[in-house]
Amino acid sequence: MRHVEHVMGFPVSLRIDDEGDFTGAADAVFAWLREADVRFSPFKPDSEVSRYGRGALADGELSADLTEVLGLCADLRGATGGAFDARLPGRGFDPCAVVKGWSVQRAAGLLTAAGARRFCLNAGGDVFVSGGPWRVGIRHPEQADQVCAVLAVTDAAVATSGGYERGEHILDGRTGRPATGLLSLTVVAPTLTEADATATAAFALGADGPAWAAARTGCEVFAIDTARQVLRTRGLPVAQGLP
Amino acid sequence: MKRVIPVFLLTVAGLIPVWRYHPSTGSTTTTAQAAEPSAPPSPASSAPVSPASSSSPSSTVASTKVVPGTAVDTVKGVFQVEVTFRGDRIASVRMLQAPHHPQTKWAIPELVTETLKAQSAHIDSVSGATVTSEGYTKSLQAAIDAKGH
C-alpha cells in the first residue's frame, strides 16, 4: 500500500510492501505525525515547544516527549561545539532539526510494532526503510530531477540537509550566520533520529561538517561542497549493479 | 577537531616545565589556564604534579621515568597524559584520559573525494533537503509516488 500526506509542512510518503492490511497502522503513523506537529511546532503559539520557549511551562509540566527532545538538543549542541543550537539569539526555541527525525523514527516504530517488516517512509526527503535493500537516491543539489548517488540500504535511515530547497535556513550557531561551505550533506545511520540530527548539525558546521559527521558512531556520509566536489566515507552503501 | 589538538598540545607543552621543575609543589593552574583560557580552575590542578622527585636534571644516566600528568579540566572535558622521561628528555607522551567527545577523536575518518555526477536511475525513494509543498510537485519523489512503482 501507498499513502502520501502533507504533515508538519512537508510531504510524507509511505509505502508498505508486506502482505496484509496495514491501513490501521498507516493511519496511526499519520495521526502521530499530526500530533507531533501540534505539540512540537515552534510556529504554533500554543504548542508545547512554543510555551516552553517563552518560559510558560514549569519544569514539572514538561512531558516525557519534550524532555526527550530537549535531551537530544543538548547532546547535539555539545557535540557540535554550539554550531547546532535550538536556542539561537534573537530567535525563539526551535528544535525542528531534532523533532523531525525523532518523530518520524517513532512513526516507523509504530509500523514495526504493527508487524510491518518491509516498508519505506519518506518524510520531506528524510527516509527510513525497514527490510531491503531499498534503492534510495540522493537528490542532485542543482538538478531537481536527477540524483547524484544511489544507495542500497536495509533497516536504516538516510537524511539530507541542504540549502537548495528553502534557501539559507540553517544557521551556524557559532556565528549566528547562515552555514556556508556545503551544498548538501547526507547521512546514513541506523535511525532517523541520528541521521537527521547529524545531517543538520554537520551542515551547520560547514566545511568541518563532513569529517565531524563521519566521526559519529554508525554514520556514513555523502557531502557536496561548494566547489561541487563529493566527499564521502568509504563505508557508504553505494548501490552496485543496474543504474 | 583541528582546534582541539593544538589546544591539547599547548596544554601538554605548558605542563612539561611544571613536571620538570616543580615536582613536589608546582601548581598547574596558571599553565592550564594559559593553554585553555576558558577552562575553570579545577581542584585537580592544584594537586602536586608529580610524586617523583627529579634529583638530577642534568643527569647523564639515561634512566627511564614514567610520570602521570595532572588531570586538566578543560571546557572539552578532562585530559590527562602520561610522560615517559629518558634521562631529562621526553621519550613519549601517552593519553591516560580524554573526554568521550566526537571532537576529540584522534582517528580522523578518511573521506574519499569524487566528482559530482548527475544521473537518472531506478530508485525507490529520494533523500533530499526538506521539500516544500510547491517543491514536491516537481520532485522525483512525487513522480515515484504517482507512478506507484
Verify that B42 and B17 share a domain, yes or no.
yes
Could you give the domains of chain A?
2-232 (3.10.520.10)
Tell me whether residue B93 is in a domain: yes
Q: Which pLDDT band holds residue B131 (cuts at 50, 70, 90)? A: confident
pLDDT in tens, chain A (243 residues): 999 999 998 899 999 999 999 999 999 999 999 999 999 999 999 999 999 999 999 888 999 999 999 999 999 988 888 888 888 777 788 898 899 999 999 999 999 999 999 999 999 999 999 999 999 999 999 998 899 999 999 999 999 999 887 676 777 888 778 888 999 999 999 999 999 999 999 998 999 899 999 999 999 999 999 999 999 999 999 998 655
Query: From the list B117, B125, B135, which residue is nearest A136 (CB)?
Result: B125
Model pLDDT, residue B34: 36
Verify that B46 and B79 share a domain, yes or no.
yes
Verify that B100 and B124 share a domain, yes or no.
no
Verify that B129 and B64 share a domain, yes or no.
no
| Cβ-contact A212, B103 below 8 angstroms | yes
Verify that B89 and B142 share a domain, yes or no.
no
Model pLDDT, residue B92: 65
Verify that B100 and B130 share a domain, yes or no.
no
**What distance in Å separates the CA atoms of residue A78 and residue A92, rounded to the nearest whole number?**
19
Tell me whether residue B17 is in a domain: yes
pLDDT digits (tens, 9 = 90+) for B32-41: 333 333 434 4
Residues of chain A positioned with their CB less than 8 A from the CB of B141: 11, 13, 122, 125
Among A17, A35, A76, residue whose Cα is nearest residue A196: A76
B131 close to A (CB below 8 A)? yes
Cell matching residue A7: 504533515
Verify that B129 and B58 share a domain, yes or no.
no
Verify that B21 and B93 share a domain, yes or no.
yes
Query: From the list A11, A135, A160, which residue is nearest B124 (CB)?
Result: A135
Query: Between chains, do B112 and A162 touch, taking CB under 8 Å as contact?
Result: no
**What distance in Å separates the CA atoms of residue B125 and residue A164, rounded to the nearest whole number?**
19
| Cβ-contact B39, B32 below 8 angstroms | yes
Tell me whether residue B115 is in a domain: no
pLDDT digits (tens, 9 = 90+) for B105-126: 445 578 999 999 999 889 999 9
Verify that B132 and B73 share a domain, yes or no.
no
Nearest-neighbour CA in chain A from B141: distance (Å): 8
Please state the ipTM of this predicted complex: 0.91
Sign, CA dihedral A185-A186-A189-A193, equals positive
B114 close to A (CB below 8 A)? yes
Tell me whether residue B97 is in a domain: yes
Chain A residues 88-107 with CB within 8 Å of chain B: 100
Verify that B60 and B8 share a domain, yes or no.
yes
Q: Which pLDDT band holds residue B72 (cuts at 50, 70, 90)? A: confident
Verify that B49 and B11 share a domain, yes or no.
yes
**Which residue segment(s) compose the domain that B146 sits in?**
120-149
Model pLDDT, residue B107: 55
Chain A residues 52-91 with CB within 8 Å of chain B: 78-79, 81
CB atoms within 10 A of CB B70: 25
Q: Is B100 exposed, middle or buried (0-12, 13-18, 19+ CB in 10 A)?
A: exposed
- Kindly report the backbone phi and psi dihedral angles of residue A43, in degrees, each rounded to the nearest multiple of 5, phi listed first: -95, -5
How many domains would you assign to chain B? 2
Residues of chain B positioned with their CB less than 8 A from the CB of A212: 1, 102-103
Verify that B36 and B81 share a domain, yes or no.
yes
Chain B residue whose CA is closest to A161: B129
